Amino acid sequence: MKKNIDLPDYLPIFPLPGALLLPNSKLPLHIFEPKYLAMFDEALQNSSRLIGMLQTKQSSIENHKDKLYEIGCAGRICSFSETDDGRYMITLTGISRFKILNFVDSFSPFIKAEVDWGEFSDDREKTILDHDFDRDSFFTLLKKYFSVKGLKTDWESLREADEEIIINSLSMLCPFEVEEKQALLESKNLVERRKMINTLMEFSLHIGSKGGLQ
């Protein structure tokens, strides 16, 4: 059983396209806009120290509520530092996914929402590993994908990492489209997420071999 954290009925929401957070993963963030500085200060005052990360649709930088996905992931502030000019460098640890029930009217400059956690109770249980995970074949495909995309990594460290770290890190860091990252977030479990990453990489390589856009 993973560490229990009281999950509140309401969350401050940080909408950010392409910034994917997954349970048991860490996401560094640079906070500088006044409304999100206020959000961070309020989150620190709550015992849960949770912030709800939510992607915006179609890579939109607008924060209109109708442009937000309804499923996100809550992260607990696990570390932070303040710069001389008042910005924050923070790190969130993914706790659980959630579903938006309602956006809440408030005087806060940032978005707040009523959320439901029930659909994702497995996020707080021991991870079910993928016993069909063929590490050799996966890394052969991954190296081709990284080569085509011009990406670099510490292959030795990545290969030695456990399965959950590998799959979740790639989901968060690979240059997938916003819609694809959302699909990875909504994957039922680690097995489904790994299969989807495989499909996304294979599709990208296929498009590239046909002379399509990278």
Label residue 6 by pLDDT band (50, 70, 90). confident
Does a structural domain hold residue 3?
Answer: no
- Six-digit token pair at 203? 């599709």
Per-residue model confidence (pLDDT) at position 85: 87
Question: Model confidence at 77, in pLDDT bands (50, 70, 90)?
Answer: very high
Give the type of residue at 97: R
Domain boundary among 124, 155, 178: 124
Same domain as 58, residue 100: yes
Instruction: Report CA-CA distances (Å) from 113 to 9, 84, 119, 209.
Output: 8, 32, 17, 44
Tell which of 60, 91, 124 closes a domain.
124
Nearest Cα neighbor of 144 from 212, 214, 202 is: 202
Kindly state whether residues 15 and 112 are assigned to the same domain: yes
**What does the radius of gyration of the chain's CA atoms come to, in whole angstroms?**
18
* pLDDT of 61 above 60: no
Tell me, yes or no, whether 110 and 150 share the same domain: no
Concatenate the DSSP letters of all residues of 105-170 into one string: P-SSSSEEEEEE-GGGGGGGSPPPP-TT--HHHHHHHHHHHHHHHT----HHHHHHS-HHHHHHHH
**In this structure, are residues 133 and 163 in contact, taking their beta carbons and an 8 Å threshold?**
yes
Total structural domains in the chain?
Answer: 2
CA separation for the pair 111, 15 (Å, rounded): 9
5 found inside a domain: no
Phi-psi label, residue 165: left if phi above 0, alpha if psi -120 to 50, beta otherwise: alpha
Domain span at 202: 135-209
For residue 1, being part of any structural domain is answered with: no
Q: Do 22 and 88 share a domain, yes or no?
A: yes
Whether 51 is in a domain gets the answer yes
Quick one: 85 and 31 in the same domain?
Answer: yes
Average pLDDT over residues 62-89: 87
pLDDT at 129: 76
Domain end marker among 83, 102, 124: 124
pTM of the model: 0.88
94 and 198 both lie in a single domain: no
DSSP type of residue 85 = T
